[in-house]
Amino acid sequence: MKKLIIDNKFDNKKVSDVLYFYFNGLTKNTLYKAFRKKDIRINNVRINEDSIVHLNDEITIYIVDDLLYKNINIQKVYEDENILIVNKPTDIEVVGNNSLTALLEKEYSYVEPCHRLDRNTTGLVIFAKNKTALDILLDKFKKQEIEKHYLAKVYGIPNFASNKTTLIAYLFKDNKKSIVYISDVPKKGYVKIETSFTLIEKNVKENYSILDVELHTGKTHQIRAHLAHLGYPILGDGKYGINEVNKKFGYKTQQLCSYILKFNFKTDAGILNYLNGKEIKI
């Protein structure tokens, strides 16, 4: 048996959408069979696939784990006595039910993520293997002493003024709608963001480009929303992209990957000083 409590993200959504989000191995056949058998309930009331959930509702699921979860192979890119860096696949959260962290906890006595990636963003995630390492890495991310680069495949050919362009914008997070908005000028409630873009490859015929994106601030959906605001949405992005374009290219998830991490410590890193200058790349 599993239980889920509905938060703002899924308020007023179909229960089936919630279940598909949390359980990556769930099929339509399994789900509809569970509804027929009354094995899914909201607030202990039997429901059907069209039922709507609301904030703080409790969903109870009587489906065995083997039918709820995919068997995910986690690629370890780097590991030592203090940290672990893995290559996150698509369609999995960093934290939460059946998350990357939950899977790693089955193997490690202590493992905590030091930053996050969106569910459908792939690539490098750093985990601390002890509390001391966690505190140091959280501080280094806050001080921007860990450099993060992403590969993004976008629609259109950016016309940046130089090979590497750093842009300032302002971001507002709407928690109720689970979406962010970008402004070129400061506004009330908006926070400053900074992102660098380098054009790596362009295909004029098919009208797409591949960019190296460096995050200087790490706000929710920053890369996806900033690129869409600039007129170059990430291919496959269902929230900030263009559905017709995504269908044309055949992408169902955003083409965004965290592919480089650089440790550029400017202050003492204690037990992690040995990492200074190290670059991890996939």
User: Containing H/E element for 17?
Assistant: helix 15-22
Residue among 113, 61, 77, 62 nearest 92 (CA)? 113
Q: Facing residues of 143 across strands?
A: none
Alpha carbon distance 217, 182 (integer Å): 14
The domains of the chain, with CATH numbers, are 2-68 (3.10.290.10), 75-145 (3.30.70.580), 149-258 (3.30.2350.10)
C-alpha R_g of the chain: 21
pLDDT computed for residue 161 by the predictor? 63
pLDDT computed for residue 66 by the predictor? 85
pLDDT computed for residue 135 by the predictor? 98
35: which 2 tokens? 């509804």
pLDDT computed for residue 190 by the predictor? 98
Exposure of 4 by Cβ count < 10 A (0-12 exposed, 13-18 middle, 19+ buried)?
Answer: buried
pLDDT computed for residue 90 by the predictor? 93
Mean pLDDT of the chain: 94
Dihedral pair phi/psi, residue 196, rounded to 5°: -110, 140
Q: What is the DSSP string of 167-185?
A: EEEEEEEETTTTEEEEESS
pLDDT computed for residue 185 by the predictor? 97
pLDDT computed for residue 9 by the predictor? 84
Low-confidence ranges of the chain (pLDDT < 70): 161
Q: How far is CA 190 from the centre of its chain?
A: 21
263: which 2 tokens? 């440790």
